[in-house]
Structure 1
Amino acid sequence: MEDKLKKILLKAKMMGFSDVQLANLLGMSENEVRELRKKYGITPTYKMVDTCAAEFEAKTPYYYSAYEKITYKEQDESNPSPNKKVIILGSGPIRIGQGVEFDYSTVHAIFALKEMGIEAIIINNNPETVSTDYDTSDKLYFEPITFEDVMNIVEKERENGELLGVMVQFGGQTAINLAMKLHKAGVKILGTSPESIDLAEDREQFSKLLKKLGIPQAEGGTAFTEEEAIKIAEKIGYPVLVRPSYVLGGRAMQIVYNTEELKDYMREAVRVSPEHPVLIDKFLEDAIEVDVDAVCDGEDVFIGAIMEHIEEAGVHSGDSACVIPPQTLPKEIIDTIIDYTTKLARALKIVGLINIQYAVKDGKVYILEANPRASRTVPYVSKSIGIPLAKIATKVIMGQKLKDLGYVGIAKPKYVSVKEAVFPFQKLPGVDPVLGPEMKSTGEAIGIDADFGRAYYKSQLSANMELPMSGTVFISVKDRDKRHIGEIAKKFHELGFEIFATKGTAEVIRKEGIPVREVKKISESTNDNILTLIQQGKIDLIINTSSGDAAKTDGYYIRRAAVEFNIPYITTIQGARAAIKAIEAVKDGLLGVYSLNEMEEN
């Protein structure tokens, strides 16, 4: 019987079945399948990628695994070195919510390890990243970021030399999710402990810690059923932000304004993922969202940057433009954010990087979430302040102290830096380019200059959204935004723009004494409407905010036309204000040109 099971397991592994799949088929746990494989000697062999096309012998330290007949074990080409070594987990395939930004941190971790004379081993299976270039790390395993594959490599590298441990905090959520499982399997997790990672990820325990520290948090709860969700929402009050647990990039996150919307959301969420709860939080309307990236050595904290989002809370942090240093936050708010960040990093016993997201409303700072890992903003912050955060974090993880490295307190940037998201809407026909809680961006660009206006203009230019200096601006906004539109229309009028607007928005603008040309909605006319003007090239800039209705409304068709006719468009009031500052600044003077050598450390 054992011989038969051994043959079945070997054949299944040679066919590509994972331990998880076999566990499901055999009614066993993943660990039981793993131990059974090892008992029968069914372990992977590692082959070197032939980068020389067999013309001459390849010597690149670039490996992939294969399950072969046990008699072929001597053909394993991965020979672990006798050196001290560290394994770094990459972020896996690039996708919305987790992309090349994490690769930047991974590469800088490699650089830091090499400076310390430690062999850097990468596990990643994305050929489009710098970390998987064959000459970046000392050794590369082109493997999936799964427990099975990581453990196989850990056991392989333990055959010779000293494996100091595994770094999980540079590979985004995919890597950090493996921390506790690897820890329980006897793997040393370098940096922030798995227990601390778990504390930050566990909603209930994290809330208890915040209460103990005196750090405010928006009210919320978790629900498995529609009834539980309604009870929580009615207790904390609408609007609420709802999202599934264990997702990347804010996937399926939504702002809900009433019970009917919540019922619709819960029916779909429970159908898609009945085993995981839905997270429900009080949505802080008109709040300013703030991101912080910091490094902690368990005692001291170095804050790389406090990033003020241009768009209000509710737009996913990966899609929102943000600025370093903050432009509208008073000193007492900044001091509070510094205090909360320092307290929380120490309480979580962070060793390495931490990202914290805050919301500022009515002069009060609320914490939204804390991520005990590298964030997608680490490259942006590092470029903006001229200090390589991931490199410093790696040295801290390996035992060095921030005081000895010369980094304590908060970095002082020389310039104003604006990060803007880059979107794929040109290549995705039919997708609404409106911003919301669910991440849609696939890249980012930075604008750096002496003031906010010029930096913001550069960021838009880099993101293929060149703002016009004159011409026509079309404005149509949802009812909740109409209270802000008078000031925006006035500014555009003063800048010399001719203003077009649909009826409801035009009425608000006229009350402010500003000349406006009223145009018909798409639904009001088949040929003499705003869409016709866009198609005729008579509109130079579009400001259009959405009511959140998923239906194909006028706003949807206007935004899609903007994308298809390559017209700059803005979908938030805050974005409109930032655009005005940018146009004013560029009209007043030339853009600055600076060398990155002035800003960066090696």
Structure 2
Amino acid sequence: MHTGESIVVAPSQTLSDNEYQMLRSASLKIIRALDIRGGCNIQFALNQRTGRYVVIEVNPRLSRSSALAYKATGYPIARVAAKIAAGYSLDEIDNAVTKTTPASFEPALDYVVVKIPRWPFDKMPEAARVIGTQMKSTGEVMAIGRTFEEALQKAVRSLEIKRSGLELDAKTDWKDRKVLLKLLREPTDKRLFAVYAAIQLGLTNEEIAAASKINKWFIEKIRLVFETEAEVKKAGVKVLGDRELMLRAKRKGFSDKQIAAIVGVKEEEVALARKKLSVKPVYKMVDTCAAEFEASTPYYYSTYESEEESVPDKRKKVIVLGSGPIRIGQGIEFDYCCCHAAFALREAGVQSIMVNNNPETISTDFDASDKLYFEPLTFEDVMAVVEHEQPDGVIVQFGGQTSINLAERLHDAGVKILGTQIEGIDLAEDRERFRELLKELKIPQPANGTARKPEEALRIAEEITYPVVVRPSYVIAGRAMQIVYDAEELDKYIHEAVDVSENKPVLIDKYIEEAVECEVDAVTDSSRMFIAGIMEHIERAGVHSGDASCVVPPITLSKEAQATIVDYSNRISKALDNIGAINVQFAVQNGVVFVIEANPRGSRTMPYLSKVTGFQIVKLATKVLLGETLDSLSVPKEIPVQKYFAVKSPIFPFIKLPGTDIALGPEMKSTGESMGIDLDFGRAYYKALLGAGMNIFTKGRVALTLNPADKKYAAEIAREFHELGFELYATDGTAAAIGEAAPVRILSKVSEGKDNIVDMIRAREIDMVVNTPTKGKRSFTDGFKIRRAAIESGVPIITTLEAARGIISAVKAKKRADFTVEPLTDYYKREKF
């Protein structure tokens, strides 16, 4: 099992002292033998029945585990390793937490840490869920408690997978013994819950251990959670008046929401009863030394004991809500926003308090903010911090959908939300209300409707005509979003992908074909707006904004379209009473500018645009949230337009997720991004692609296979590649469309036996593939097999015509080889357009 795929516990819970000392001694011997100075990661396999152990690997560097170890212990491994590299010895380096002990003191823990990976199977349900030596997770959460059970349940509810703890979903048949045993034997993201289900079904610890190979100690601890749940269930509503049982449940990590579900009451009733019983969390310090020495670290976790170690001070203070685990649609970009918000608060003399649960991020460094609470981002956990700290306000703008989803309940509980208020947030997020707002403002939007019944969805789609874009309301990253081309596809979507009801409406928009998509990131105060830039997407509308490459400044938008975008952005922002950050997305078709959506919060493009322009957008937004104006901050009134180009290119996880189709659409699939910057578009795009891991050839064999709608552009694309010196191959339909424009060799289709296009790709006889997917159904078509073959063989694959044209520009730039290489700050000094 890859370490990134494993649930990890610290300190070790099942090693005997002899085993621990044996592995520690072996580690020191290896380090001395290799003469390692600085960070080192050593992985062991230990057979506890025989005592035999082997070294799996030694990494003479910091690793993924180093970041986890740092957050788990508070010991700043990278900081210490850097000082060692500068010539210091361990006894000369101060422990940054205690300030009194040297770095040579090994950390001691008086708490338990649990790390659980966050997998992307909610976004890519077609991917094989089996986990093993190939890492598939996109992120992770960490939780801290006084017991394993408490930390485990806190970690589960931190994952944001619609579970408040060790709960079972309704889609899996957990009572089927065969299904359950398969889930225990086969390592998947469901195995932890299979253990819980097996205990419920009556399997013994020995049976579960035999099937899963999980140590019986962990199974027994999970059984204790189940036994506590059984006690609560037996007590029913009496638990609301039973302090001892309530306290016992909370110490086992049960949330108010879990208890409410078990006994059949509302979460608010449990919270109120718990507080009446004086069952409240206290906050303990992470100090690296198990309280042996005095420490001054501002790093805390909650637990249900008596002694409080976090003492609020009387300074002006603001809580920043983090974005939780990295996953598709909500990545490290939002952590950038949270960090820069904390830096801006500190600069303004306001105490910054961070709440987050992701050990991979900078925001959970104990010195990134004035105070850190390593807690799940649920209403209960966040509200507990608010009640303890009594802040002057809470910032929800920078934690993505995670923090925005908490805004309404926090507001209803009397918490001051800084910036755009709940009415404005709901007006933008509720697609029906936003549609009516655009009508009032006389701003064009794609024809659309909202369905609460399957038959209503089919009627609306017929009225606005296919193709249509369908999606649930209140989502980020286009989750469960799809372009459908006929009634059959729509019916299948409604019954398989989403659950349509009064409370879960489905949004249906006319899909604007052949449109240029673009977006703006801006900051508004009570009187005006600062637009940091207009980003033009390279792929056409229909590809999720997070998966599209984009360029600043725009390269095809007319001055009139840009002026309209600025006008619409201002009008929408004023209508929402937006204060702080806002992102607005547009589609431009035949000169008409349509508004797609507005998000009154920080966006995933803010770090990119900040790098491009040199304006610290999040810092400006944060200071506006504190009451300053854009004029007082000397922010320009016009959009800064640079005399250079910056291209953002997405990075995809397809090679790690067999079975997934790489074709791009309205549901986001990328997990990262790179940026290229230069004095023209081609050079910038080439750098961005290189940064994203795509090797661009200047000669070789290009295979073209285009869908029927794109074949009218086949001659143009083929001619460009031919003029650059590429040999062209194509399937017969595409070859016919190319005609006399360029010489082309015809490839056999997948179904036409050996030596077909897939065989040639796998044999690396093709250097680049341009394959535009057939619209509508995709799974297991020839195109799907071509795309998977390219990904698995490491052959560059392009799935849109716009990206193909961009590649042609990049190849031309590479042939010229006149790239500009200079520090980012030197670009800022260049004159503007």
TM-score interval for Structure 1 and Structure 2 normalised by the shorter chain: over 0.9
Q: Measured at CA, do residues 110 and 500 of structure 1 come closer, stay the same or move farther in structure 2, by a change above 3 Å?
A: same
Q: Measured at CA, do residues 308 and 123 of structure 1 come closer, stay the same or move farther in structure 2, by a change above 3 Å?
A: same
Bigger mean CA deviation after superposition, 323-332 or 270-279: 270-279
Residue 385 of structure 2: aligned partner: 153
Residue 98 of structure 2: aligned partner: none
Counterpart pick for 1:14 among 242, 251, 256: 251
Residue 440 of structure 1: aligned partner: 669
Instruction: Note if contact 1:502-1:521 (Cα within 8 Å) is conserved in structure 2.
Output: yes
What's the offset of the Cα at 1:272?
Answer: 8.1
Instruction: Note if contact 2:429-2:474 (Cα within 8 Å) is conserved in structure 1.
Output: no
Instruction: Note if contact 2:240-2:246 (Cα within 8 Å) is conserved in structure 1.
Output: no
What is the alpha-carbon distance in structure 2 between the residues aligned to residue 278 and residue 474 of structure 1?
A: 39
Larger Rg computed on CA atoms: 2
Gaps of 5+ in 1: none
What is the alpha-carbon distance in structure 2 between the residues aligned to residue 573 and residue 368 of structure 1?
A: 22
Residue 537 of structure 1: aligned partner: 764
What is the alpha-carbon distance in structure 2 between the residues aligned to residue 574 and residue 321 of structure 1?
A: 10
Instruction: Note if contact 2:320-2:338 (Cα within 8 Å) is conserved in structure 1.
Output: yes
Residue 61 of structure 1: aligned partner: 298
Residue 558 of structure 2: aligned partner: 330
Determine if the alignment matches structure 1 residue 175 to structure 2 residue 406: no
Residue 104 of structure 1: aligned partner: 336
What is the alpha-carbon distance in structure 2 between the residues aligned to residue 196 and residue 7 of structure 1?
A: 43
Counterpart pick for 2:692 among 440, 463, 483: 463
Residue 311 of structure 1: aligned partner: 539
Determine if the alignment matches structure 1 residue 188 to structure 2 residue 188: no
Q: Measured at CA, do residues 575 and 529 of structure 1 come closer, stay the same or move farther in structure 2, by a change above 3 Å?
A: same
What is the alpha-carbon distance in structure 1 between the residues aligned to residue 673 and residue 281 of structure 2?
A: 39
What is the alpha-carbon distance in structure 1 between the residues aligned to residue 295 and residue 608 of structure 2?
A: 37
How do residues 3-402 of structure 1 correspond to structure 2 at under 5 angstroms?
5-52=242-289, 56-68=293-305, 73=306, 75-158=307-390, 163-271=391-499, 275-402=503-630
SS at match of 2:469: strand
Deviations 1:303-352 (A, max 9, x none): 01111101111111111100000000111000100111111112211110
Residue 221 of structure 2: aligned partner: none
Gaps of 5+ in 2: 1-237
What is the alpha-carbon distance in structure 1 between the residues aligned to residue 430 and residue 779 of structure 2?
A: 36
What is the alpha-carbon distance in structure 2 between the residues aligned to residue 248 and residue 295 of structure 1?
A: 20
SS at match of 1:403: coil
Instruction: Note if contact 2:240-2:273 (Cα within 8 Å) is conserved in structure 1.
Output: no
What is the alpha-carbon distance in structure 2 between the residues aligned to residue 462 and residue 431 of structure 1?
A: 23
Instruction: Note if contact 1:387-1:600 (Cα within 8 Å) is conserved in structure 2.
Output: no
Instruction: Note if contact 1:415-1:449 (Cα within 8 Å) is conserved in structure 2.
Output: yes
Deviations 1:365-387 (A, max 9, x none): 00000000000000000001111
What is the alpha-carbon distance in structure 2 between the residues aligned to residue 27 and residue 456 of structure 1?
A: 56
Question: Structure 2: which amino acid aligns with 1:39?
Answer: K
Number of aligned residue pairs: 590
Higher relative contact order (CA 8 A, sep 6+): 1
Instruction: Note if contact 2:715-2:741 (Cα within 8 Å) is conserved in structure 1.
Output: no
How do residues 488-527 of structure 1 correspond to structure 2 at under 5 angstroms?
488-510=717-739, 512-525=740-753, 527=754
Determine if the alignment matches structure 1 residue 595 to structure 2 residue 827: no
What's the offset of the Cα at 1:536?
Answer: 2.5
Instruction: Note if contact 2:430-2:474 (Cα within 8 Å) is conserved in structure 1.
Output: no
What's the offset of the Cα at 1:495?
Answer: 0.7
What is the alpha-carbon distance in structure 1 between the residues aligned to residue 239 and residue 665 of structure 2?
A: 55
Question: Structure 2: which amino acid aligns with 1:65?
Answer: S
Question: Structure 2: which amino acid aligns with 1:483?
Answer: K
Question: Structure 1: which amino acid aligns with 2:311?
Answer: N
Bigger mean CA deviation after superposition, 266-275 or 401-410: 266-275
SS at match of 1:248: coil
What's the offset of the Cα at 1:508?
Answer: 0.8
Instruction: Note if contact 1:386-1:599 (Cα within 8 Å) is conserved in structure 2.
Output: no
Deviations 1:42-72 (A, max 9, x none): 110111113346674443211111123xxxx
What is the alpha-carbon distance in structure 2 between the residues aligned to residue 536 and residue 396 of structure 1?
A: 57
Question: Structure 1: which amino acid aligns with 2:387?
Answer: E
Residue 632 of structure 2: aligned partner: 404
What is the alpha-carbon distance in structure 2 between the residues aligned to residue 307 and residue 45 of structure 1?
A: 46
Identity %: 57
What is the alpha-carbon distance in structure 2 between the residues aligned to residue 299 and residue 137 of structure 1?
A: 30
Q: Measured at CA, do residues 574 and 11 of structure 1 come closer, stay the same or move farther in structure 2, by a change above 3 Å?
A: same
SS at match of 1:405: coil
Instruction: Note if contact 1:180-1:195 (Cα within 8 Å) is conserved in structure 2.
Output: no
What is the alpha-carbon distance in structure 2 between the residues aligned to residue 349 and residue 275 of structure 1?
A: 26
What is the alpha-carbon distance in structure 1 between the residues aligned to residue 356 and residue 501 of structure 2?
A: 28
